Chain A
Amino acid sequence: MRQLIYPMKEQYEEFIIDESKFSGYAQSISFPKNEEEIREVIKELGEKHIPITIQGGKTGITGAGVPEGGHIMNLSHMNQMKDGCLLEGGNGLIVVEPGINLMDLRKEINATFRKNLLFWPPDPTETSATVGGVAASNAQGISRLLYGDSRDYIEALRIIDSKGQAHFIERGKKFTLPSGKSIEMLDAVLGKEGITGVISELTLKLIPKPESIWGIAFFFEQAEDAGKFVDTLKRDLPKSKNAAVAAAEYIDRESISLIESHKGTMTKIKELPNIDENRAGMVYIEIHGEEEGIEELAESLMESAIICNSDPDEAWAVSGETDVEKLRAFRHGAAETSNLYIEKVRRDDKRITKLGTDMIVSNLTFSRVLADIQEELDDAGLKGCVFGHALENHLHVNILPECYGDYEKGIGLIRKWAAEVNEQHGEIVGEHGIGKLKQRILGDLISGQYIELCRELKSEFDKENIWNRGNIFPEKAGQV
Chain B
Amino acid sequence: MEPGKHFPRESGSSMKIAVCMKQVPAVSEGNMDPKTGVLLRAGMEAIVNVYDLAALEAALRMKESIDASIHVFTMGPSKAESVLREAFAMGADEGWLICDKAFAGADVLATSYTLMQAIRAVGDFDLILCGKQTTDGDTAQVSGGLARWMDIPHANWVTEVINISHKEINVRYNMENSTVTASMSLPCLVSVEKDFFIPRMPSLKLKISGKKKTVHVLTIEDLEDQDKKHYGLSGSATKVRKIFPPPRTKHQEPVTFDGDKAAEYILSQLSDVNLF
Q: How far, in angstroms, from A284 to B86 measured CA to CA in the complex?
A: 19
- Contact of A114 with B47 in the complex, beta carbons under 8 Å: no
Interface residues of B in 198-252 (CB under 8 A from A): 198-208, 211
Which residues from chain B contact A111 at a C-beta distance below 8 Å? 30, 40
In the assembled complex, the Cα of A273 lies from the Cα of B199 at a distance in Å of: 8
- Let me know if B40 and A317 touch, CB within 8 A: no
A321 and B202 in contact, given A107-B29, A110-B30 (Cβ under 8 angstroms)? no
The total of chain B residues at the interface (CB under 8 A) is 24
List residues of A (434-470) whose CB comes within 8 Å of B's CBs: none
Cβ-based interface call for B89 (8 A): yes
Which residues of chain A are near B138, meaning CB under 8 Å? none
Q: Indicate if the CB atoms of A314 and B208 lie closer than 8 Å.
A: no
Neighbour of A312 across the interface among B43, B89, B204, CB < 8 A: B204
The residue that A114 contacts in the complex, of B28, B43, B201, with Cβ under 8 A, is B43
A291's nearest neighbour on chain B, judged by CB, is B211
Chain A at the B interface: mostly helix, strand, loop or mixed? mixed
Q: How far is the CA of A315 from the CA of B201 in the complex (A)?
A: 9
Binding site secondary structure of chain B: mixed
Instruction: Indicate whether A317 sits within 8 Å of B42 (C-beta atoms), given known contacts A295-B208, A302-B208, A322-B47.
Output: no
Chain A residue at minimum C-beta to C-beta distance from B50: A271
In the complex, A322 Cα to B53 Cα: how many Å? Answer: 14
Q: Do the beta carbons of A316 and B43 come within 8 Å of each other?
A: no
For B199, list chain A residues within 8 Å (CB): 271
From A273, A299, A315, A323, B47 is in contact (CB under 8 Å) with A323
Contact B204 A315 (CB under 8 A): yes
**Most B CB atoms within 10 A — which of A107, A218, A272, A320?**
A320
> Across the two chains, which residue of chain B brings its CB closest to A325?
B26
Q: Mark B136-161, 1 if CB is under 8 A from A, else 0.
A: 00000000000000000000000000
What is the CB-to-nearest-CB distance from B148 to chain A, in angstroms, rounded to a whole number?
Answer: 31
- Which residues, 41 to 85 on B, are CB-close (under 8 Å) to A? 42-43, 45, 47
The answer on a CB contact under 8 Å between B198 and A271 is yes
Give the distance in Å from the alpha carbon of A323 to the alpha carbon of B46 in the complex: 11
How many angstroms between the C-alpha atoms of A316 and B208 in the bound complex?
11
Pair B43/A313 contact, Cβ less than 8 Å: no
Residues 181-211 of chain B: 1 if any A CB is under 8 Å from the residue's CB, otherwise 0? 0000000000000000011111111111001
Once the chains bind, are B201 and A272 in contact (CB under 8 Å)?
Answer: yes
Q: Is the CB of A322 within 8 A of B203?
A: no
Lowest 6 CB-CB distances: which A-B pairs, in order? A107-B30, A315-B204, A317-B204, A316-B201, A312-B205, A114-B43
Extra A-B contacts (11), CB below 8 Å, given A114-B40, A317-B208: A113-B43, A216-B204, A272-B201, A273-B200, A273-B201, A295-B211, A312-B203, A312-B205, A316-B201, A317-B201, A319-B207
Partner-A contacts on B (CB < 8 A): 26, 28-31, 40, 42-43, 45, 47, 86, 89, 198-208, 211
26 pairs, A vs B, C-beta closer than 8 Å? A107-B28, A110-B43, A111-B40, A115-B42, A217-B201, A271-B199, A273-B198, A273-B200, A273-B201, A299-B208, A302-B208, A312-B203, A313-B206, A314-B203, A315-B203, A315-B205, A317-B202, A317-B203, A317-B204, A317-B207, A318-B201, A319-B86, A319-B207, A320-B26, A320-B45, A320-B47
